[in-house]
Amino acid sequence: MRRILVLLQFVISFTVFSQINEKRIILLDLDTNQPIDEAVVLVLKTKQVLMTNAEGTVVFEIKGGSNLKVTHSSYLPITIKWASLNQPENIFYLKSKLNTLDDIVITNKDPQEIIKDLVNNSTKTLNVPARLKVYSREFFKLNGDYAYFNDGLINFQLYKDQKKVKSVLLLEQNRSFGLVDDDISSDLLGYNLNSMMEKYYVFSVLRPLLDDKIRKKYNFIVKVNTLNQDYNNIIATPIPDEKSKELLDDFKIVYDVKRKLIIEVTAVISPEALAAVEENTAKGAKNIIKSKFKTNYRADFENYYLVSSNEEINYSVNTGNEIKNIEILNNLVTTNFNIQNFTYKDSQVFKDKTLFNAKNSILTEYWNFSGLTPTAKELEIINKISK
């Protein structure tokens, strides 16, 4: 009888330990009580990476339990104990570490030389070769209405070829909903997944600040500020030129002061720059209405890699029959990072430009625990398009 009781206790203990737990976490600013987006939540047991959405929320599943580490460039890091995750919605507050004095960094080095050194050091330090499991999500709007949606789990294998970073894509799962009319060809849909990761790993978006030819033609006002004790902030703003018809971004670079590594890059075309450019009315011409680019990188003791990207573009195109407005919103989140290569056959490689042309392949409900939980508004849009 005693053996039966011991065996029963073991079975119960094993069942409890092995059960899958679903957890929801909400991160809020301690002072303002506002949700914190783009905070990185690392599940210490599995090394899964999550990122909070615009509502400050992450949702994930795990067998057993694990403590969590939360980091954000603007907030003090915290460690969340598993035992404290005992509510349907678990709310935690982060304390801001931003420097409100906006101190100017005094240096005898030209700010653009600082940027060049940061890019060189960051490029050398990024882990390559490496493997990234990435959740990709994209919304497509046509004439102001959401018309198409896709998301997927993608394995990126990064390697170097003659000093250039290259990537191989293996599409694990994906889903696509919606229709786009024939006037909008598939090459206008979405960002090119085969080139996105490669440009993120060489910081090509910062080329206007590094290319001597561009620097001679266009001037930037560059300031270096202290963000907090760990990070500095570089702001680069183009000086308006009435003769120029080229659109240039306003740049923001956050970098680790001690390790000289880039943590965030933001590039946005200002409304003033857009207003100064004349509209092109020729057939097939594209006129930019909005452009936003942001990447986040994670630097721990051993690894340095891309953790997320956000790209948005809104433009009008003359199809010959009418002017159509197109808006594309793309998010990538690295859910798992590994320095080990994976093996694959050439037939498994995803060689198309976007997930738009990929057939639906759904093995699990991966989108529910993808690393980037949809907000209530985004979920409403997805459900509407899928019907």
Question: What does the pLDDT profile of the chain (387 residues) look like in tens digits?
Answer: 444 444 444 444 434 444 678 899 999 999 999 999 999 999 999 999 999 999 999 999 888 899 999 999 999 999 999 999 999 899 999 999 887 655 666 555 677 888 999 999 999 999 999 999 999 999 999 899 998 899 999 999 999 887 789 999 999 999 998 876 655 554 456 678 878 898 999 999 999 888 877 766 778 888 888 888 899 999 999 887 666 667 889 999 999 999 999 999 999 999 988 888 888 888 878 899 999 999 999 998 889 999 999 999 999 988 878 888 999 999 999 999 999 888 888 888 998 878 877 889 999 999 988 999 999 999 999 999 987
Residue labelled with tokens 């207003």 = 275
Specify which residues 314 forms β-bridges with: 290, 327
CA nearest 227: which of 202, 262, 267? 262
Parallel, antiparallel or unpaired: strands 20-29 and 57-63: antiparallel
Q: Token digits for 263?
A: 């943590």
> Which stretches does DSSP call E strand in the chain?
20-29, 40-43, 48-51, 57-63, 68-72, 75-80, 90-94, 130-142, 145-161, 164-178, 220-226, 231-238, 250-256, 261-268, 286-299, 304-318, 323-338
Residues 6+ apart with CB under 8 A from 173: 152, 153, 361, 362, 363, 364, 366
Look at residue 112 in the predicted model and tell me its pLDDT.
82
CA 40/CA 333 separation, integer angstroms: 10
Residue labelled with tokens 């400050």 = 56
3-state secondary structure of 216: helix
What phi and psi, each to the nearest 5 degrees, are found at residue 193?
Answer: -65, -25
Q: How many residues does the chain have?
A: 387
Domain borders along the chain are 17-94, 111-362
CA nearest 64: which of 38, 41, 46, 90? 46
Look at residue 28 in the predicted model and tell me its pLDDT.
98
Q: Hey, how many other C-beta atoms are within 10 angstroms of the C-beta on 63?
A: 12
Q: Hey, how many other C-beta atoms are within 10 angstroms of the C-beta on 280?
A: 12
Q: Do 153 and 173 contact (CB within 8 A), yes or no?
A: yes
Residues 6+ apart with CB under 8 A from 200: 295, 306, 309
Q: How far apart are the first and last CA of the chain?
A: 57
CA 77/CA 229 separation, integer angstroms: 13
Look at residue 54 in the predicted model and tell me its pLDDT.
95
Rg (CA), the chain: 23
Architecture of domain 17-94: Sandwich (2.60)
Amino acid of residue 117: D
Look at residue 29 in the predicted model and tell me its pLDDT.
97
Residues 6+ apart with CB under 8 A from 31: 95, 96
Look at residue 190 in the predicted model and tell me its pLDDT.
67
**pTM for this prediction:** 0.89
What phi and psi, each to the nearest 5 degrees, are found at residue 111?
Answer: -55, -35
CA 324/CA 52 separation, integer angstroms: 33
